[in-house]
A and B are shown apart, each in its own frame.
Chain A
Amino acid sequence: MSLPLKQLQSILYRLITAASGVAEGLAAEKRLVAEGGMPAGGLDALVLGDDRLSAEDRVDIYANMYFYRLLDVLKEDFPATFGCSATTIFIISRPAICSIIHRPSRR
């Protein structure tokens, strides 16, 4: 039975924006199976993988592009803070950057 479109989009949104990447997002989704989140078959039941890229790899492409778009915006607005090597920021600060975007300071 196919997943309703709204549910599919909600799952993909959570995976793409997971602060530490899709793997972390998938772990969180497993806890949602009982609540009707991710179907029991996991991501492979939703997204097709192949010998070149697994289902997780394919969602990761979108997750990485999401992160780099956030980084580009932050670099533009705060060049001194975010102007260092993209690779360094990816390794050290991806959760921090996602946190800034999703839970900005109210003060």
Chain B
Amino acid sequence: MKRADFPSLGFGVGLRQPHYKLVVETYPKVDWFEVISENFMVEGGRALEVLEAVREHYPIAMHGVSMSLGSTDQLNRNYLRQIGDLARRFEPAWISDHLCWTGVGGRNLHDLLPLPYTEEAICHVVARIRQVQDALERPILIENVSSYMAFADSTMTEWEFISAIAEEADCGILLDINNIFVSAFNHRFDANHYIDAMPVERVVQYHLAGHSDHGTHLLDTHDHPIREEVWALYERAARRFGNVAAIVEWDDNIPEFAVLAESTERARTIFNKVKVEHHEPPAEATAKHPLSADHRS
């Protein structure tokens, strides 16, 4: 799996319910939308109507929060079947979920909990990603999570852990730039080292978001504007990884869509500045993307 195996989507927004009406009535100028898979795993209703309308005009990617790739419970085959059904219907550019566990013993914590960075955990997660990829008949992307605890048993860094898993499972990486910043503060590592250590060809997408500062720790709340330090980290990533799709996500205290759209344009501007330094043509905002419905065969 290489990044070139995936389409280049550009700069988008995480689709959230408060913006449904505006998006389907005005089709704002963003390149693509990332949708939360679980919000559309329903039989019918408004959400699916919205997704149909969005998909007619934009490429999408499906992003899940319930795959629980790190859990020691059995993979939820019913969940995978529903993800597969949704993917066949809406043809996302890719499917992603988090490198974490969300529950154990059949009970769900509804949170993205970190794993110990051990060989045991690598073997466990790699086997499960392979099962998921076989079931979905496509490579998936795994996202680094924000974390507030680290384990005494860990024998490697987080960036070594995620890189090893991506290589062995042959999957892509969704690099959440804000999560790197949050975890770097919480665990006192250098966020730049993380960016510099990621395997370039496996990074397919970025998340950009805000967080809240609690003094002793940062929380990944997605309820604030993106901090300048996170933008600086994004610029470092743009220099290293080149043309990688990005979205801006906001999940609480959600502002007007224009605020998110403005952030996507800032991400594009930063990327174009980096490209110019490398003498490459800039990325334009795309009205019709090769993966939008109008271009599908």
Binding site for B on A (CB under 8 A): 2-6, 8-10, 12-13, 16-17, 44-48, 50, 52-53, 55, 57-59, 61-62, 65-66, 69
With a cutoff of 8 Å between Cβ atoms, the chain A residues found around residue B118 in the complex are: 2, 5
The answer to whether B153 has its CB under 8 Å from any CB of chain A is: yes
How distant is A52 from chain B, measured CB to nearest CB, in Å? Answer: 5
Number of A-B contacts (CB under 8 A): 75
Given contacts A5-B121, A52-B216, A53-B216, contact A62 B116 (CB under 8 A): no
Taken together as a complex, chains A and B put the C-alpha atoms of A62 and B148 apart, in Å, by 8
> Do B111 and A50 touch (CB < 8 A)?
no
Taking a contact as CB atoms closer than 8 A, the residue among A12, A44, A45, A55 that contacts B113 in the complex is A12
Separation of A79 and B115 alpha carbons in the complex (Å): 36
Asked if B104 and A13 make an inter-chain contact with CB atoms under 8 angstroms apart, the answer reads: yes
**How far does the alpha carbon of A46 sit from the alpha carbon of B109 in the complex, in Å?**
19
The distance in angstroms between the C-alpha atoms of A44 and B150, with both chains bound, is 11
**Once the chains bind, are A6 and B72 in contact (CB under 8 Å)?**
yes
Interface residues of B (CB under 8 A from A): 70-72, 101, 103-105, 107, 109-111, 113, 115-116, 118, 120-121, 124, 148-153, 188, 216-217, 219
* Contact A13 B151, beta carbon cutoff 8 Å: no
- Bound-state Cα–Cα, A8 to B216, Å: 25
Q: How far is the CA of A80 from the CA of B72 in the complex (A)?
A: 39
* The 9 nearest A-B residue pairs measured at CB: A6-B72, A58-B149, A2-B153, A9-B104, A61-B148, A52-B216, A48-B150, A47-B149, A13-B104
A47 and B151 contacting across the interface, CB-CB below 8 Å: yes
Instruction: Say which residue of A10, A17, A55 sits within 8 Å of B149 (CB atoms).
Output: A55
Bound CA span A66–B103, Å:
12
Partner of B153 from A3, A6, A12, A50 at Cβ < 8 Å: A3
Q: Are A5 and B120 in contact (CB under 8 A)?
A: yes
Considering the complex, give the chain B residue whose CB is closest to the CB of A49: B149
User: In the complex, what distance in Å separates the CA atom of A10 from the CA atom of B209?
Assistant: 31
Question: A16–B104 contact, CB under 8 A?
Answer: no
CB–CB A8/B109 < 8 A: no
Given known contacts A13-B104, A53-B216, A66 and B111 CB-to-CB distance under 8 angstroms: yes
Complex Cα distance, B120 from A70, in Å, reads 32
**List of A residues within 8 angstroms of B109 by Cβ:** 13, 16-17, 62, 66
In the complex, what's the smallest C-beta–C-beta distance from B108 to chain A, in angstroms? Answer: 10
Contact indicator B101/A9 (Cβ below 8 Å): yes
CB atoms of A5 and B103 under 8 A apart: no
With A12-B113, A58-B148 known, 17 other A-B pairs at CB within 8 A are A2-B116, A5-B120, A6-B72, A6-B104, A8-B153, A13-B103, A16-B111, A46-B151, A47-B149, A52-B216, A52-B217, A61-B217, A61-B219, A62-B149, A66-B109, A69-B110, A69-B111
Closest residue of A by beta carbon distance from B215? A52
Interface centre among B121, B216, B219 (most CB of A within 10 A): B216
**Pair B149/A5 contact, Cβ less than 8 Å:** no
Residues in B neighbouring A2, C-beta threshold 8 A: 116, 118, 120, 153
Interchain CB contact (< 8 A) of A50 among B110, B115, B116, B188: B188
CA distance A62 to B103 in the complex (A): 12
Q: Known contacts being A2-B153, A47-B149, A48-B152, is A66 close to B110, with CB within 8 Å?
A: yes
Contacts of B115 in A (CB 8 A): 5
